[in-house]
Amino acid sequence: MTDPATLDSLAARAESEIARAVSPEALDALRVTFLGRKSDLQAALKGISALPAGDRKDAGARLNLIKQRIEAAVGSRGAALAAGVGGPGADVTFPGRAVRSGTRHPLPATIEDICGIFGRMGFERAEGPEVETEYNNFDALNTPADHPARDMQDTFYVRPGLLLRTQTSAIWARVMARRDPPLRIVCPGRTFRRDAADSTHSPVFHQVEGLWIDEACSFSDLRGVLTAFFAEFFGREMKVRFEPRYFPFTEPSTEVSIECTSCGGKGCPACARSGWLEVLGAGMVHPNILAKAGRGYAKPGVRGFAFGMGPERLAMLKHRITDMRWLYDNDLRALGQVRG
Ligand code: DAH
């Protein structure tokens, strides 16, 4: 066992196996095999005492060299494994770990999508705070304290006069206070209402508001802008319907519907058999608001239109999501099925 050729082949075998150890555990097992108490090497070391006295010294020196070679191999493979380096023993045919690619959440993706489409039509982005003055959220929008429309937008008051905004229309007043027309803004943001959560409501939701004020802005411009928007958003021409509605800050006001995205207008359970889906409110900026803002807004001929939409609703229609809570649960198994 102590002859040089046998020892050399033992060391070579040990080195080759050690270099291919795939994990620290496998390496430790090899260390035990080649250096441990029951190893050939230990047996040979123990056998030295049985050798003729004259041979013991040389045999001991040879065995020690082999031991050092194996220890060095264990050390260098251990370092390589710790550094994550495959080393000469790496199995390049081993299947790799799949890389999971992330994707944007469908809700912010939809908001970006909407703002991008209006951005290409020349709308600038404007934002405002979530904690808003009662004035900007209601009074400036032609909705005084005794107005019945306030009931439909009950919200959370931080203190008297300060609330969590119920609509991103609240941003109008902020922008109008510091800029004269022409104005063309799109205002995304989070909004709040005292609503119980169900498949179509949430006390915290989002809106994207649009406002265009300029000389000779007309209702047909509003129709053109929204019709172009829906075609862009859904990737095809959509039938768009404008029905009269009431909003305090626009006159005339309209509720805008699109052809049902499930049945294409034939009538199905998703559209209550009407063929239409109501998707946003819009209208011509109320003259009271222009007069109150003064400056360039009060000039003869200056008019504006506005619209407000819920990106949750649009995301649900686009991705065929039937429960709004799905957008807030952040279950990756579900979200992974939607490419934003
Ligand atoms: N702010 C309204 C709401 O939250 C939506 C809306 C309706 C916005 C009509 C508008 C508009 O700009 O003209 O219900």
Tokens of residue 219, six digits: 């209702």
Given a contact cutoff of 8 angstroms between Cβ atoms, the answer to whether 275 and 171 are in contact is no
pLDDT tens-digit map of 261-285: 999 999 999 899 999 999 999 999 9
CA torsion sign for 151, 152, 157, 163 is: negative
Residue whose CA is closest, atom 13 of ligand 1?
282
Q: Residue 172: its pLDDT value, please?
A: 97
Question: d(Cα 117, Cα 228) in Å, to the nearest integer?
Answer: 9
The Cα 192–Cα 201 span in angstroms is 11
Contacts of 154-160 with CB under 8 Å at 24 or more apart are: 154/193, 154/194, 155/192, 155/193, 155/194, 156/192, 156/194, 158/131, 160/134
Ligand 1 binding pocket mutation candidate from 202, 246, 249 (most atoms within 8 A of CB): 249
Query: Residue 340: pLDDT above 60?
Result: no
Q: d(Cα 110, Cα 116) in Å, to the nearest integer?
A: 10
The CA distance from 309 to 91, in Å, is 55
Kindly report the protein residue whose alpha carbon is nearest to atom 12 of ligand 1: 307
Residue 187 has pLDDT above 80, yes or no: yes
Residue 86: is its pLDDT beyond 60?
A: no
Q: How far is CA 102 from CA 108, 114, 145, 319, in A?
A: 14, 21, 47, 18
Contact 251, 281 (CB under 8 A): no
Quick one: which atom of ligand 1 is closest to the CA of 254? 9
Contact 176, 183 (CB under 8 A): yes
Tokens at 170, concatenated: 């609240």
293-300: long-range pairs with CB below 8 Å, 24+: 293/176, 293/177, 295/180, 296/180, 296/181, 297/176, 297/180, 297/181, 297/213, 299/215
Which of 36-45, 137-146, 174-183 comes out lowest in average pLDDT? 36-45
Measured between alpha carbons, how far is 127 from 168 in angstroms, rounded to an integer?
8
Q: What is the mean pLDDT of residues 155-172?
A: 97
CB 277 within 8 Å of CB 73:
no
Give the mean model confidence (pLDDT) for residues 141-169. Answer: 95
Q: Give the other-Cβ count within 10 Å of 321's Cβ.
A: 20
Is 105 buried (19+), middle (13-18) or exposed (0-12) by CB count in 10 A?
A: middle
Q: By alpha-carbon position, which residue is closest to atom 3 of ligand 1?
A: 167
The CA distances from residue 120 to 218, 223, 228, 254, in Å, are 20, 17, 11, 24
Tell me, in angstroms, the distance from the centre of ligand 1 to residue 270's CA: 23
Ligand 1: nearest atom to the Cα of 141: 1
Best probe residue, ligand 1, of 247, 255, 314 (max atoms within 8 Å of C-beta): 247
pTM > 0.75: no
Q: Which residue has the higher pLDDT, 61 or 235?
A: 235
> HSE on the CB side for 245, CA within 13 Å?
19
**Spacing, Cα 146 to ligand 1 middle (Å):** 19
- Asked if residue 286 has pLDDT above 60, the reply is yes
Tell the residue nearest (CA) to atom 5 of ligand 1. 308
For residue range 205-238, list pLDDT tens digits in order: 999 999 999 998 999 999 999 999 999 999 999 9
Tell the residue nearest (CA) to atom 11 of ligand 1. Answer: 282
**Ligand 1 binding pocket, CB closer than 6 Å:** 167, 169, 209, 247, 250, 253, 281-283, 306-308
In ligand 1, which atom is closest to the CA atom of 249? Answer: 13
